[in-house]
Amino acid sequence: MKILALETSAVTASAAVTEDDRLLAQSFQNSGLTHSATLMPMVSDLLKNTGLALQDMDVIAVAAGPGSFTGVRIGVAAAKGLAWPEDKPCAPCSTLESMAWQCAHVGGEICAAMDARRNQVYCARFRAEGGALIRLTEDRAMGLDELAAEVRAAAAPQTLVGDGAHLVRAVLKGQGLPCALMPPHLLYQTAWGVARCALELARGGGLISAAAMAPSYHRLSQAERERLERMK
């Protein structure tokens, strides 16, 4: 199964082509340039350099959230645009689960976290066993102290991954809770993680049409929150 995967949920941008669980090619940028300017050229170069075409892809996968509202929208819109002409099935992947796949080989408990601002993180916890992931919590936005209390109750060392990992590490270490960061090349979101998550979705019958795919934000945008405040 060939998968074209996109990751634009935060500052970094990434695209990858995989065949089953084998990475054929990946492009990654953490340059600060906008995803709208970099993503499609990355995809075009990947396909050209692998000698493949969009028609050769079996699945179009994307990190569908949580994450930056703008970044997630760009990724989902691009995935829909790529999938629609050929009626390719789509895999709307959890950004957090996709990150957790990057450290599934480590074993033990994994906390995937993204900076959600306002002293919160988007996070989910997993346990890795034999190269597989077992989900321990749903994706959610929560306060750092609330997450620390959950980790304390779990009584297990945490492997931290994601652009919010440094925030979580500071809080956990401050409370004497054992944790470790993934190395820099595995710390941030990558399209390979999205592709690996998509493979699990495909195996479990979780693929959907481009028309059915939508972002998953997990909380209201700042504009929506401000509008609700004005209405009180």
- pLDDT tens digits, one per residue of 46-100: 999 999 999 999 999 999 999 999 999 999 999 999 999 999 999 999 999 999 9
Domains identified in the chain and CATH numbers: 2-96+190-231 (3.30.420.40), 105-187 (3.30.420.40)
Taking only the tens place, the pLDDT of each residue in 175-217 is 999 999 999 989 999 999 999 999 999 999 999 999 999 999 9
Bridge partners of 61?
5, 91
Q: What span, in angstroms and rounded, lies between the C-alpha atoms of 75 and 80?
A: 9
For the chain, the maximum distance between any two Cα atoms, rounded to a whole number of angstroms, is: 57
**Whole-number average pLDDT of the chain:** 93
Taking only the tens place, the pLDDT of each residue in 118-167 is 899 999 999 999 989 999 999 999 999 999 999 999 999 999 999 999 99
The predicted model scores a pTM of 0.92
